[in-house]
Amino acid sequence: MSAFIDNGGAGPTLLLLHGYSDSSRSFSLIEPYLEDYRLIMPDLAGHGHSDARTELAVRDFADDVEALIAELGTKPLAVVGHSLGAMTAIELASRRPRSLKALVTVSGTLRPGFPADGDISRRILALSDPIEPSNPFFAFWHASPQQVDRNFLTYLGREAATIPASVWHEVLSGFHDLDLGEAAAEIAVPVLCLAGDKDELFDAGHRRRLSAALPAARSIVMHGFGHNPHWEDPLRVASNIIGFLRDVAQ
């Protein structure tokens, strides 16, 4: 079973899925603003305290999350996913049209792309063990247009550096041909799509494709924010999520 954090909250359950190279700790800045909910925050395979598995594609992460939900015996009110976690949440929501009540994507996409000859892929493929937390890659990888707590980013860099290069490479490989268009078409629950207009990983083209695949979704673009708005302004992101979930519950 995946490693996970359960905040033990007494309110409705939210399942929070982190991004590529992050862990459940990715939500530590936003967690205080979601105190009225029970938060389940797993470490995806190969991340945080969860062991890697042979295959690390989005479908495999979704398999693991389904197994965790079954093990815990809980039915989340909503799934909130960031980046890789958003892709996993889309896949999960397509499989569980009745047991989930809502989906929130933060910096989501249907087709991450990351072509093998592109700058991002070259940077990731250049990683080799042992990865040092001081590697300049992390300044690029965790860059945000808005200020983010420096201690938090230092922690993220140290944690990401413990991920074996083979895991970085395998997750990247799973992105090359990924297309979640069919999965999105199966989603029947209310959807909120949050994104920053300065996201350098998933730009306006990604947002347009996501909106086209989920025409009933509520979309909020945060102007001046990047790929990690839940780090840049956790209160604002939490407020948007809470408002959406309250509307869904009515």
> Does position 56 have pLDDT exceeding 80, yes or no?
yes
Choose from 112-116, 117-121, 191-195 the range with maximum mean pLDDT.
191-195
> Does position 54 have pLDDT exceeding 90, yes or no?
no
pLDDT band at 117 (very low <50, low <70, confident <90, very high): confident
> Does position 98 have pLDDT exceeding 80, yes or no?
no
> Does position 131 have pLDDT exceeding 90, yes or no?
yes
Average pLDDT along the chain: 95
What pLDDT does residue 189 have? 94
The model's pLDDT over 237-249, given as tens digits with 9 standing for 90+, comes to 999 999 999 999 8
What pLDDT does residue 249 have? 87
CA terminus-to-terminus distance, the chain: 34
What pLDDT does residue 2 have? 81
The model's pLDDT over 59-88, given as tens digits with 9 standing for 90+, comes to 999 999 999 999 998 877 899 999 999 999
pLDDT band at 43 (very low <50, low <70, confident <90, very high): very high
> Does position 1 have pLDDT exceeding 80, yes or no?
no
What pLDDT does residue 99 have? 78
Instruction: Map out the domains of the chain with their CATH numbers.
Output: 4-112+178-249 (3.40.50.1820)
Q: How far, in Å, are 42, 72, 196 from residue 3 at the CA level?
A: 6, 12, 29
